[in-house]
Structure 1
Amino acid sequence: MKKSLVLGLIGSVPLFGLSQQFTGFTYDNYAGVHGMVQNPAYVAGSKYKVNVNFFSMSMLAGNNAYELKNSKFRKFNFSDLEENTDYFKSGNTDKKNLWFNTDILGPSFMFTSGKKSGIGLYTRMRTVVNEFNLSDRTFRYMGHSDAIYNTDIEEENLQLKAHAFAEAGLTYGRVIYNNPQHLVKMGITGKYVIGMGAASVYSKKLAVNIDKNDFINKLEGDLNVRYSGNLDAVDDDFSDILDKSSGNHGLGFDLGFTYEWRPESSGWLVTDPTPYKLRVNASINDIGSVKYNNSEHGGSYIMNASGRTTEDLDKQDGETFDEYFTRLENQGILSSHTQAGDLKVKLPTTFRFDADYHIYRRLFINAGTVVNLLGRDKNELSAHYATSFTITPRLEKKWFSIYTPFYYNTLNKKMAIGAGLRAGFLFLGSGSVLSNMFSSKNVNSADFHLGFTLPIYQRVKTKRHRTRVEKTVKEEPAETPKPQPVEVKPQTVVETVVDTVVKSVEVIKEVNVTRDKDNDGIIDEKDECPEEAGEIALAGCPDQDKDGIADKNDKCVDVAGTAKYNGCPVPDTDGDGINDEEDKCAQVAGTAKYNGCPIPDTDGDGINDEEDKCPATPGLPANNGCPEIKQEIAKKVAIAAKSIYFMPGKEVIQNVSYAKLDVVVNVLKSDSSLIISVEGHTDNTGNAVSNLKLSAKRADAVKNYLIKKGIAATRITAQGFGDSKPVAPNTTPAGRTKNRRVELHLNYQ
């Protein structure tokens, strides 16, 4: 494939998939080792005396770019697929992303070590692959070579990341609080990680334009490559990676908590084997990293393949990655910018949270989320999981469970519906099988999980409700005493009247004390504005603009403000829409981009930096802020260009040309702001494609000479035009001689 590297850089097969492992199954109270892996607190107080996992795996993949014909998926017929017949490009315009995960759990076990504690040990191997930010425009060109030719393609923040690693984990969990209604567990897992391989390629900006004859008109940008040293010896079939251990390792840990609520008056039987009404799990997983020996080619490069052909970028058969990158550097296609040190790859850290509600007897419903904690665009080295949400109703029994996860992924932005089954020693399921099998829409994601375990359950002592019987005791009623006559003395009546008058006066006083004249809920005694209804928080005073400052203290009653400015808004002295507290140039109108200051003019030439193509060098408006190149300098370079000679039919510069080229070197060294473009041209003798390649190679030869003389590669561009731009007729020997030339053009950067 002639365009293998170019198209490989701007996108491989743009897929994207799901993020959870064993989707829906891990929330089961009988998930065993798999529940422990997702939350280490699970191992404490579990339903198992011992649970052994012999083998289980989960694989998840999908895409937001292509859609497979539904009938093909239902028949599991994936051979001889043709575009626009068996699969189609998705109609969305989102950036295309890849996300592929595998999770293989090897021999593992957990057991209950006491009434409050449990221990587990597991072995595991995972792969995580991401691709992000392939533009929809570029994606539409893929597979349509006529459309991609002679088309400007620009990609930004393009990422491809992959990580494969194995781990062994030791888990300890314990019940830390327990009473009849509340239970809290916590657990921790320490893990030793062996890195099998890691790689990342990202470009912040990449510009591509390919000619129909596979000539590269433009391929420029930054290229940041990081990969573990054990990949250097890998050839095209990747078989050697298994023969050479990378020798890389790291440490990690998981931390989890579980809370169970067991209300006594919930209305369900205590004899139920799962005695909680609500269970909440929270955990942080995969905290840690793996340190690799970075390849000697791992670093930041300036890439410039303009003027070459796509054949120059092909990785040859039998060529290792080490040999391939060495060749690109020797050819000047890659120019090292920064050499990286050791490669430190973070584990795919996530925060996991779920709430499990016990509906009745064997029925449960779970709502969970997995949140990626590594970020995406800012994390350019470490592959990671995607943020997702799941709602899973299930029927759960000791030897049997069925579950139906409703799954939503923040990248795919589509709801998937799956199904799963646990029956004795076997479990299997999928987070998307129902959507894919019974929906009329085409398929753009798929996953499955299965495993074989040995369950040995705890012997559970159940409690039974005892009906409370209330006994009615009949007792003989006591004999009712006869009323005795009360003698009322005259003086007693007088005293009673006096007491009544005194109490009435006290009530009147109390009413007067607690009077609230303005009915604002604050008694007048404590109301600072008793004549006008106000706010309780403002001691009864009103606040017309609701800014928390009483009107009596507010100098801007009708406009919300701040206490610092006595109730008035923060001022904007220069009227540029940026308040003085955030405006670094409060007296001069500016823009938000420069924190309220005017657009700077670094070189003081009257042209602001955003319009100045030479912001550090004073220039002229006619030259877009760049200074005018002196005529004597331009003349020197033009004369030198006419004195560059090559061996016939080759790109080798003749020795006689060196003196003139050194003149150009001195010009560039005398003014570091100057840049130069080198253009190669030929006559029309011979094959046009061969002439084009030859002109490009000759331009590169001049560029390489200047670089060897100490001129930075970033100041030089080189391009060949073949016989496409003659300056004289090709019908005469003199005309053809003039057309065989190199042109040098100076400018300011």
Structure 2
Amino acid sequence: MKKSLALGLISCVPLFGLSQSIVGYPYDNYSGVHGMLQNPASVAGSKYKVNINFFSFGTVAGNNAYELKNDKVKKFDFSDLKENEDYIKSANADKKNLWFNTEILGPSFMFTSGKKSGVGLYTRARMLFNEFNLSDKTFRFFGSGNDGIYDQNIQESMLQVKAHAFAEAGLTYGRIIWSAPHHQLKMGITGKYVVGIAAASYYSNKLAINIAKSDIINQLEGDVNVRYSNNLDNVDDQFDDVLKHLSDNHGLGFDLGFSYEWRPESSEWLSNDQTPYKVRLNASLNDLGSVKYKNSENGNSYAANASGKTTDDLDKQDGETFDEYFTRLQNQGILSTKAHEDNMKVKLPTTFRFDADYHIYRRLFINVATIVNLINRDKNQTSAQYPTTFTVTPRLEKKWFSLYTPLYYNTLNKKATWGAGMRLGPLFLGSGSILSNVLGKQNVSNTDIHLGFTLPIYQRVRTHKHKSQPKQEVKEEPKQEVKVEKVVETRTDTVVKSVEVVKEVVKEITHDKDNDGIVDEKDECPDVAGEVALAGCPDKDKDGVADKNDKCPDVAGTAKYNGCPIPDTDGDGINDEEDKCPAVAGLAKYNGCPIPDTDGDGVNDEEDKCPATPGKPANGGCPEIKQDVVKKVAIAAKAIYYMSGKDIIQKVSYPKLDVVVKVLKADPALQISIEGHTDNTGKPETNLKLSAKRADAVKNYFIKKGIDASRITAQGFGDSKPIAPNKTPQGRAKNRRVELHLNYQ
């Protein structure tokens, strides 16, 4: 539908996507290469002599917009899904978010290179996709048969869509850097070379939209920021163009990790194939780095204005490349370039990862972990990211077999899932949501799966026998009875008499006439009860200044002003210490200063419609436009001619338009508004569309001549504002016109 095409410029929210990493499995002591990717320190002192990964991948799907009905999941029936029957819109009113990422691990290996060190090498490909901050109101308009979108004011802010696909090769080195009888600390680092496959982003700080039922766009205004790698400009179905420019897009990155193990006295239940720690703590910074891309020529910051256009104008035509699409939108005046950068820097999805692993008993463990996103999505609108997640994973772990059941929470859709997985020799398979999605009753908004095939070659483990020490008998000494009653009684009498003597002595040598707890010798105000902190002097207003020194004893003040409040010399309600203009009354808004007059024309900035240009009070602070200039522009407007029935300006009009360009360049503060008008011949909606296109044609001419787009507005009014009767050919000719209006606002 056409309305869907218009909304397509804003965003779209599919039901499922692929996401980060592998849930639960990397915390296993036998996860090998996957544990190394989670934390490079794990390559040192590992369970493996050699571990080779042939192939593995992991995906997590999620959003907070749509929910798939639970019975469809249980039946694994995903064909011909219909809204409100098979899937529904989530009832929450949050901003709609989506993450769509996948990870494929190619041939990789790690090996133990000594008693204290290990080395790893891996190859991996990843793709990340995010959509953030689509408003709930706009999202409700998605779907078939919803005409409620028409004539609705839609406001979007901080809307983002980001995608990044890249491949990497990494080299890891880990080493045990501290070892004690009950403690061990490991450190690891990974350096990676990254090849960027493709990157793209769209974001808008503010966008306002209103679409009429006739599919004419009443309003579509705001900023549109598009960035994408130049290999996407002419991409075709075979994806050949994406792969042609891989050498242009590359970068470096690294991971840094630490792992600490607490190893108490070995217990009898620890067998030779188990892990000797009681607690293991892992912490790492992953994916520090970026990829540099060649930005497309169309990867610009644009001012968007499609008011008066139709939804068809926004539709990307069949066979039209991205380059051709953006060029057409610019030629139609829908997009006006504001800024361009030749290169595009995309950060890797940087995260902080921490987990605590507790060895419960024998082969039973429980792990608590978090992956924290470190990319600020509001400040970095071009870099795709992983969501912040939390995981609690109990597991049964043996050399050739592991069973784990993670409880997984994702902060973007604020839902928890329960899953299960297993490792059986070289194979592993699992999901962080399978149990909650299949056994639970809630509708499904996220799901995941991971699997892989590896070759494990384990370390040889020596068996240690533990000898128990015989208990030694301790002989108790016979207790002796001591009579102390008489001694206690005698010493008590002595203490009582001593206390009485001390009291009498203190009474004789101390005098406190005003009973304020300070002896008269140290009391500066011995006749009046006062404060201990003020040497016995009173402080009536409790401001910390004694009354004898307080010039304002009845009003709390500060010591700096001898007990008086901070003064306000100009009486504007802002004390002198915070008042930047203490001698002149002002406003708190301007830190105590009067309203400024930037251009010095006698009209303050709050009332000045042209605060940066000196003008006259009668014109609201704007300069007066000279009449000869107004006349030149009016004459030029009457000499603008178009091809019949089209929005193409005839060359005979160029000299007069150049006169207007000269006027605008002579005064950079001047702005111009362009109005397109038609007669009443034909359909009103057709006339409105044609008048808007003709006004935009004039605007585009001025822009090509070097006039900034921010100084120009263009709007079509169709046949709604005639200046002569449409009953005669002469009247209709007068109504077919373009008006040019100069202003400073």
Q: If the TM-score is normalised by the length of the shorter chain, which range does it land in?
A: 0.7 to 0.9
Give the Cα separation in 2 of the matches to 1:557 and 1:49: 83
Give the Å deviation of 1:634.
5.1
Give the Å deviation of 1:317.
2.4
Which residue number corresponds to residue 70 of structure 2?
70
Matches within 5 A, 1:283-432: 283-432=284-433
Distance 1:413 1:570, change over 3 A: farther
The answer on whether the counterparts of 2:15 and 2:67 sit within 8 Å (CA) in structure 1 is no
Which residue number corresponds to residue 91 of structure 1?
91
Q: 2:678 aligns with which of 675, 682, 701?
A: 682
The answer on whether the counterparts of 2:278 and 2:359 sit within 8 Å (CA) in structure 1 is yes
Give the Å deviation of 1:567.
11
Q: 1:194-234 deviations in whole A, cap 9, x for unaligned?
A: 11111122222223333333333333332222222221220
The answer on whether the counterparts of 1:20 and 1:388 sit within 8 Å (CA) in structure 2 is no
Distance 1:600 1:14, change over 3 A: farther
The answer on whether the counterparts of 2:332 and 2:693 sit within 8 Å (CA) in structure 1 is no
Which residue number corresponds to residue 495 of structure 1?
none
Tell me the SS of whatever aligns to 2:412: coil
Which residue number corresponds to residue 496 of structure 1?
none
Tell me the SS of whatever aligns to 1:82: coil
Which residue number corresponds to residue 734 of structure 2?
738
TM-score of the two chains, using structure 2 as the length reference = 0.83
The answer on whether the counterparts of 1:553 and 1:566 sit within 8 Å (CA) in structure 2 is no
Q: 1:398-430 deviations in whole A, cap 9, x for unaligned?
A: 222222222222222222222222222222222
The answer on whether the counterparts of 2:557 and 2:565 sit within 8 Å (CA) in structure 1 is yes
The answer on whether the counterparts of 1:541 and 1:550 sit within 8 Å (CA) in structure 2 is no
Which residue number corresponds to residue 494 of structure 1?
none
Give the Cα separation in 2 of the matches to 1:595 and 1:124: 56
Give the Cα separation in 2 of the matches to 1:315 and 1:335: 18
Which residue number corresponds to residue 112 of structure 1?
112
Which residue number corresponds to residue 13 of structure 2?
13
Give the Å deviation of 1:282.
0.6
Range moving further from structure 2, 60-69 or 727-736 = 727-736
Distance 1:587 1:271, change over 3 A: farther
Range moving further from structure 2, 463-472 or 579-588 = 579-588
The answer on whether the counterparts of 1:408 and 1:415 sit within 8 Å (CA) in structure 2 is yes
1:338 alignment partner AA: A
Matches within 5 A, 1:219-238: 219-235=220-236, 238=239
Give the Å deviation of 1:681.
1.9
The answer on whether the counterparts of 1:270 and 1:465 sit within 8 Å (CA) in structure 2 is no
Which residue number corresponds to residue 493 of structure 1?
none
Give the Cα separation in 1 of the matches to 2:471 and 2:98: 68
Q: Does 1:698 find its partner at 2:699?
A: no
TM-score of the two chains, using structure 1 as the length reference = 0.82
Q: 1:680-718 deviations in whole A, cap 9, x for unaligned?
A: 222222344433332222212322343345433222222
Give the Cα separation in 2 of the matches to 1:594 and 1:706: 39
Q: Does 1:726 find its partner at 2:722?
A: yes
Tell me the SS of whatever aligns to 1:318: coil
Give the Å deviation of 1:721.
2.6
Tell me the SS of whatever aligns to 1:701: helix
Distance 1:313 1:254, change over 3 A: same
Gaps (5+ residues) in structure 2?
478-493, 513-517
Distance 1:377 1:562, change over 3 A: farther
Give the Cα separation in 1 of the matches to 2:358 and 2:240: 48
Range moving further from structure 2, 558-567 or 90-99 = 558-567
1:67 alignment partner AA: E
Q: 1:595-633 deviations in whole A, cap 9, x for unaligned?
A: 565654434567654565433245678876656666676
Give the Cα separation in 2 of the matches to 1:462 and 1:577: 82
The answer on whether the counterparts of 1:97 and 1:132 sit within 8 Å (CA) in structure 2 is yes
Distance 1:569 1:187, change over 3 A: farther
The answer on whether the counterparts of 1:127 and 1:162 sit within 8 Å (CA) in structure 2 is yes
Give the Å deviation of 1:114.
1.5
Which residue number corresponds to residue 209 of structure 1?
210
Q: 1:433-461 deviations in whole A, cap 9, x for unaligned?
A: 23322332221111121112222222222
Q: 1:570-618 deviations in whole A, cap 9, x for unaligned?
A: 9888898988766655666767765565654434567654565433245
Q: Does 1:121 find its partner at 2:121?
A: yes
1:55 alignment partner AA: F
Tell me the SS of whatever aligns to 2:320: coil
Q: 1:476-498 deviations in whole A, cap 9, x for unaligned?
A: x9xxxxxxxxxxxxxxxxxxxxx
Q: 2:708 aligns with which of 712, 718, 725?
A: 712
Distance 1:567 1:18, change over 3 A: farther
Count of residue correspondences: 715
Q: 1:87-141 deviations in whole A, cap 9, x for unaligned?
A: 2222222212221121111111111122111111111111111122222222222
Range moving further from structure 2, 9-18 or 463-472 = 9-18
The answer on whether the counterparts of 2:333 and 2:699 sit within 8 Å (CA) in structure 1 is no
Distance 1:686 1:116, change over 3 A: same
Distance 1:438 1:341, change over 3 A: same
The answer on whether the counterparts of 1:681 and 1:722 sit within 8 Å (CA) in structure 2 is yes
Give the Å deviation of 1:148.
2.4
Give the Cα separation in 2 of the matches to 1:100 and 1:312: 29
1:58 alignment partner AA: G
Q: 1:233-275 deviations in whole A, cap 9, x for unaligned?
A: 203674642465354221111110011112339x774547222
Give the Cα separation in 2 of the matches to 1:346 and 1:684: 55
Distance 1:651 1:576, change over 3 A: same
Which residue number corresponds to residue 31 of structure 1?
31
2:459 alignment partner AA: Q
Give the Cα separation in 2 of the matches to 1:161 and 1:97: 12
Q: Does 1:54 find its partner at 2:59?
A: no
Give the Cα separation in 2 of the matches to 1:567 and 1:420: 73
Gaps (5+ residues) in structure 1?
478-500, 519-523
Give the Cα separation in 1 of the matches to 2:463 and 2:565: 66
Range moving further from structure 2, 388-397 or 346-355 = 388-397
Distance 1:120 1:652, change over 3 A: closer
1:43 alignment partner AA: V
Range moving further from structure 2, 358-367 or 322-331 = 322-331
The answer on whether the counterparts of 1:16 and 1:412 sit within 8 Å (CA) in structure 2 is no
Give the Å deviation of 1:319.
2.6
Which residue number corresponds to residue 139 of structure 2?
139
Matches within 5 A, 1:265-280: 269-271=269-271, 273-280=274-281
Q: 1:652-690 deviations in whole A, cap 9, x for unaligned?
A: 445665565455445544543332222222222234443
Give the Cα separation in 1 of the matches to 2:87 and 2:190: 43
Distance 1:20 1:324, change over 3 A: closer
Distance 1:568 1:157, change over 3 A: farther
Give the Cα separation in 1 of the matches to 2:594 and 2:271: 75
Which residue number corresponds to residue 182 of structure 2?
181
Matches within 5 A, 1:579-728: 584=580, 600-603=596-599, 609=605, 612-617=608-613, 626=622, 637-638=633-634, 640-654=636-650, 657=653, 661-662=657-658, 664-728=660-724
Give the Cα separation in 2 of the matches to 1:312 and 1:675: 27
Distance 1:205 1:169, change over 3 A: same
Range moving further from structure 2, 711-720 or 305-314 = 305-314
Give the Å deviation of 1:635.
5.8
The answer on whether the counterparts of 2:534 and 2:546 sit within 8 Å (CA) in structure 1 is no
The answer on whether the counterparts of 1:15 and 1:64 sit within 8 Å (CA) in structure 2 is no
1:52 alignment partner AA: I
Distance 1:230 1:669, change over 3 A: closer
Give the Cα separation in 2 of the matches to 1:578 and 1:61: 56
Tell me the SS of whatever aligns to 1:324: helix
Give the Cα separation in 2 of the matches to 1:562 and 1:285: 53
